Amino acid sequence: MPITTIIRSLALVTSAAIAFSSAGCGQFEPRDKRFYYRALWNFSLREDLAELDSEFNGVDFGHSNLYENLLLTGGRDVPAIEERARKETLAFIASKPRLNPNEEAIAPTYMKLAWRAQNTFDEAHALHRATYDIAVSDEPDKDRAIRNVLAYYKDSAYAITSKLLDHRRLDGFPYSKTFRQRFPLFNATIWSYHYLQVAVYDPLLAAPDLPAKTQAVRPILATYRRYLDVPPVDWTFMPLTAELSPQFAARYPELAHIFDNLHMLHDNISDILASERLPTWESKRAEIYRLVNTYYLAAADATNPMILSTEGAHHH
């Protein structure tokens, strides 16, 4: 990395640390992070289908890199996001990373701002990884394995609701759509990630063995890489699991809802970080936690007004 880039990055981090301290958001939150569910199928994706696993590692970098840059630039610097931050993400993806990146090192300022929200993401991402591992592995009873890992996930205080949420209303706050309208290229890149994450489920589960699974996901990987080259800016809403992996969604509806709700929360937080309607870091943090606590955590199911009773009502 050029020395000028390093110096600029250090200056941004130093300035952010000063601003963060003066903003009064520097209180520490308990880091009650759980260990992942342990099973014989752990890391099957990494070991047996590294081509797909490395793409998911790129996704992990992209979200954190985006949030850190939105926060440090105030969400108004278009070249900083559309050019610099997006190209950093594409370069990381192109490196085909073998391991998950350390997201706390990528986005230290954002993690201090809203660590509980990030841990909500982390646990749902771990559930994503577990389901991929199970699908790729030679586990003979995949339904049982998925039931077990889902029960483990739902036992967490950070579990996202497995209920169908009204994404149309969740995309209708005063600050909603700020990110996609100001940064259409990076938004389309994020939605391309989400396309990849949910589109592979049906092919992975349908293929009878590892060679067949490897071949089944390659057309999806090719489509995803085309989206990275030419972002689908004409999309008007994020990809949904039932549209891209309908058999998986029918077989595991709770998982489909969790993953769609996770991706909607990603959109909400991108909008919050980009919006001038929430001008201070304290106001952004408060709104992030209001959304998480009121509409997304399973702990709020009894009072959550966004829960729908019928399928198909939550998409534009």
Give the confidence band of 315 by pLDDT, cuts at 50, 70, 90. low
203-236 pLDDT, tens digit per residue, is 999 999 999 999 999 999 999 999 999 999 999 9
User: Which pLDDT does position 29 carry in this prediction?
Assistant: 78
Q: Residue 6 above 50 pLDDT?
A: no
Q: What does the domain layout of the chain look like in residue ranges?
A: 21-300
- 274-284 exposure pattern, b = at least 16 Cβ within 10 A, e = fewer: bbeebeebeeb
113-149 pLDDT, tens digit per residue, is 999 999 999 999 999 999 999 999 999 999 999 999 9
What is the pTM (predicted TM-score) of this model? 0.90
Q: Residue 24 above 60 pLDDT?
A: no
79-114 pLDDT, tens digit per residue, is 999 999 999 999 999 999 999 899 989 999 999 999
User: Which pLDDT does position 311 carry in this prediction?
Assistant: 57
